[in-house]
Amino acid sequence: MKFPDGFLWGGAVAAHQLEGAWNVDGRGPSICDVLTGGAHGVAREITDGVVPGKNYPNQRGIDYYHTFREDDALFQEMGFKCFRTSISWSRIFPNGDDTEPNEAGLKFYEELFKDYRAKGMEPVVTLSHFEMPLHLAKMGGFTNRKAIDCFVRFATTVMERYKDLVKYWLTFNEVNNQMEMHTAIFPYTNSGIIPNPNDTKHDVEQKVWQSIHNEFVASALVVRKGHAINPNFQIGCMLAMVPIYPATCNPNDVMHAEILMRDRLLFGDVYVYGEYPHYLLNRWQREGFHIAMNPGDLEIIKEGTVDFISISYYMSAAVQANKVDEWDGHGLPGQVRNPYIEATDWGWQIDPVGLRYVLCTLYERYRKPIFIVENGIGMYESPDANGYVEDNARISYLREHIAQVGRAIALDGVEVMGYTVWGCIDVISFGTGEMKKRYGMIYVDADDYGKGTYCRTRKKSFYWYRNVIASNGEDL
């Protein structure tokens, strides 16, 4: 099945997972620089500053800061039409509230985006991908309204600087992940909310809801400023899409799944329609949340709606209403194993049809173009005796998901802008901080503790994806 002309095939990464060079050329510490390494079933620790003896994998990344030209040449060899990355906020404003930007940081991204363009790749740039300067987090993150001004200053600075290099911008990455409010890593990385052991459940939720409002205001202001800087900018939101299925056709399961899914979709409702849905306003009142809003906030949100929706998609989930009482605070209340689909070694349920389902749901709800900016599979891998990684399971995963994207376009009429494979080169896993959870089509010789040669090797999927792009999706 051939994809539309101009379809943006590519790969996706985030600065904090691959750049390294965490304290080089004036960069300040970010929130991910004090996240320790974890593992499946072992949560990453948020430390108070850098603690000697702890393992901080994001400080290393894969040293892309120094190797980007060579790595970009590999992406070019695969035929990428676009490349998604983020700008490390603390590389531009080391503390977040600085009045003047760090020129060395600005120069780095200028060279980076020029290199993408020279190699035929359209930059797709995320402004906030879990990279808030640590200093701002210590000021309360987005619970503090000052973060709005700091983010808008940062975004305006880079949009102005790269107005002729970057067309596609995303504001906040997977902003709806923080609806899992009691898994500390999500409010921390989305909004810079440092866990406080004295906070009650209601305290945590109040902080998250206030942060979400402030992020909506910040995003809308950036959309308006971006369009003023360059009317040709395309500025989108970025949602983590995990379709939530009822485990049975019991009406209680169906209603429970619907309520949970609203938590993921309310962000799209605000980004696209520019207003809070009634069910959310009702919830705030019913549960006693008081959201501080300045005069004009709602008008700003109304005027700063997005041009397109970008999404990540890895898995689906199933829930059962009568299992809610057994919930331990992790994942979704009432979440159960879906017996009809397989799962990865990390328990992520593999559901290609769910991607088509998500595309249809979003397009019917919003009628906006959709950009799939993350899709991929993390696997344990090691090269064979010849140094080759034959990652057939990854090829199968990507093939089946891309086929469902093709069906959504051809059969359902969904307008899909492009598709970027997450972690097209092995990077530090966000959720666990591991290197051994590998997503890439390029193998990086490094372990969870930074040991290795860091040499890059093309996997079997590298050549497969190159053929997919060359045939515009016809050769899967």
Catalytic positions, written as ranges: 374
What's the rounded Cα separation, in Å, for the pair 361 and 132? 31
What's the rounded Cα separation, in Å, for the pair 397 and 95? 40
- Please enumerate in sequence order all residues whose Cβ is within 8 A of that of 78, keeping only pairs 6 or more positions apart, or say none: 11, 424, 441, 462, 465, 466, 469
What's the rounded Cα separation, in Å, for the pair 68 and 91? 16
Position 97, amino acid: D
List % helix, strand, coil for the chain (3-state, nearest 5). 40, 15, 45
Task: Record the tokens describing residue 458, joined without a space.
Answer: 């093309």
Q: Under DSSP, is residue 276 helix (H, G, I), strand (E, B) or coil?
A: coil
Task: Answer yes or no: are the C-beta atoms of 386 and 339 closer than 8 Å.
Answer: no
- Please enumerate in sequence order all residues whose Cβ is within 8 A of that of 364, keeping only pairs 6 or more positions apart, or say none: none
What's the rounded Cα separation, in Å, for the pair 232 and 474? 30
User: Looking at the chain, how many residues does it have?
Assistant: 476
Task: Record the tokens describing residue 21, joined without a space.
Answer: 């060079």
Beta bridge partners of 39: 42
Beta bridge partners of 168: 124, 234
Give phi and psi for 435, each to the nearest 5: -90, -25
C-alpha gyration radius of the chain: 21
Run of H or E including 135? helix 134-138
Task: Answer yes or no: are the C-beta atoms of 31 and 137 closer than 8 Å.
Answer: yes
DSSP letter at 23?
A: T
Beta bridge partners of 172: 128
Task: Record the tokens describing residue 74, joined without a space.
Answer: 């590999």
Beta bridge partners of 237: 309
Beta bridge partners of 190: none
Position 30, amino acid: S
Taking residue 9's Cβ as centre, other Cβ atoms within 10 Å add up to 22
What's the rounded Cα separation, in Å, for the pair 162 and 157? 9
Ramachandran bin of 285, using left for φ above 0, alpha for ψ from -120 to 50, beta for the remaining angles: alpha
